[in-house]
Amino acid sequence: MASALQIDRLLVIGVGLIGGSVALALKAAGVVREIVGAGRSVENLEKAVQLGVVDRFTQNFAEEVSTSTVILISTPVLSTDAIIRKIADEDYHNALITDAGSVKGGIVESAERYLSADYRGFVAAHPIAGREHSGVTAASADLYQGKRTIVTPSRQSGPRAIEFVKQFWCATGARVSEMDAATHDELVSASSHLPHLVAFGLVNYIANHARGKECFDLAAAGFYDFTRIASSDPTMWRDISLANAAAVTRELRGYIANLESIAEKISNGEGDSLKEVMDIAKVSRDFYLDRWMK
């Protein structure tokens, strides 16, 4: 069925790493006739045309809504509410709307707030992939190849829209599955948002350390791998953290308690119990890495 996917016009609102990579992947798959990029920065949009990521661009996406087959919202998550409100002022009923945000609860609420109750074309999604470089110049057709994408159907997602949006994400090369928005947000707060905050926090801590410069000079390859995700886009991650604030702070506090217990064990010289923490970590990671690599 995926081969049947045909999109006449795709409107990509926010042409950065995420939206740009979706555009490139769908072009490579040959499933879209025209891609229109929308955003605020003319410079970035011109770059997107130059790079062949989009066919043309607009700074006023509203005027493209009524003639688009699919609208992809791929901006930092705190800006999606205003975008959906603006879409709602246009004739959007012939378009399918999806997004690529890392938090799903907020955008589902925005859709229910602004889009009509009988609209069945909204299917939120989260492609789980990224890299530490941001912007359209970092976009690539294979960013989602083999990676997971979660679609989170809601009341405004009709069966045909769900099927179409799944095919849309399949065409980027992703492995697509379904989950409700609340479950999604709870799980990614631990599996993705927490690690990013832990990494941002660690590098920030060293940067503010009295001997930070010497510490960075001594850091080995492990440190740079470990902190790769701390080079992710700060605006994107600020938005994700605030959009998923309740779950993220709960996970942060759970993790802080875990670190405190490690500090206690070290401070009390409880070697066996400290080693057990490390054993559980190593065994779990090796086990899941093994599965994940398959």
Name which of residues 222 to 251 contact a second copy (CB under 8 A).
222-232, 234-235, 237-238, 241-242, 245, 248-249
Distance CA 228, CA 219 (A): 13
Residues in the chain: 294
Decide if residue 221 touches a second copy (CB under 8 A).
yes
Instruction: Output 117 or 218, the one with its CB closest to a second copy.
Output: 218
C-alpha gyration radius of the chain = 21
Contact 130, 20 (CB under 8 A): no
Decide if residue 100 touches a second copy (CB under 8 A).
no
Shortest distance, CB of residue 217 to a second copy, whole angstroms? 8
Shortest distance, CB of residue 94 to a second copy, whole angstroms? 33
Instruction: Output 69 or 140, the one with its CB closest to a second copy.
Output: 140
Distance CA 58, CA 147 (A): 30
Three-state secondary structure call for residue 268: coil
Q: From residue 130 to residue 149, what is the string marking binding to a second copy with x (rule CB under 8 A)?
A: x----------------xx-
Q: Which of 113, 40, 79, 108 is nearest to 238 (CA)?
A: 79
Distance CA 229, CA 63 (A): 37
Instruction: Output 6 or 249, the one with its CB closest to a second copy.
Output: 249
Decide if residue 29 touches a second copy (CB under 8 A).
no
Tokens 């991650």 label which residue?
237
Token code pair at residue 46: 């011109």
Decide if residue 42 touches a second copy (CB under 8 A).
no
Token code pair at residue 184: 């999604």
Decide if residue 175 touches a second copy (CB under 8 A).
no
Residue 269 φ/ψ region, left for φ over 0, alpha for ψ in the -120 to 50 degree band, beta for the rest: left
Instruction: Output 34 or 109, the one with its CB closest to a second copy.
Output: 109
Among 128, 163, 173, 174, binds a second copy (CB under 8 A): 128
Q: Interface residues for a second copy in 256-285 (CB under 8 A)?
A: 256, 258-260, 262-263, 266-267, 269, 271, 274-275, 277-282, 284-285
Among 13, 25, 129, 165, binds a second copy (CB under 8 A): 129
Q: Interface residues for a second copy in 54-93 (CB under 8 A)?
A: 78
Q: Interface residues for a second copy in 176-215 (CB under 8 A)?
A: 186-188, 190-192, 194-209, 211-212, 214-215
Please name every residue paired with 148 in a beta bridge, in sequence order, or none if there are none.
175
Tell me which stretch binds a second copy (CB under 8 A): 21-29, 63-71, 116-124, 218-226.
218-226
Distance CA 103, CA 243 (A): 7
Distance CA 39, CA 57 (A): 8
Decide if residue 1 touches a second copy (CB under 8 A).
no
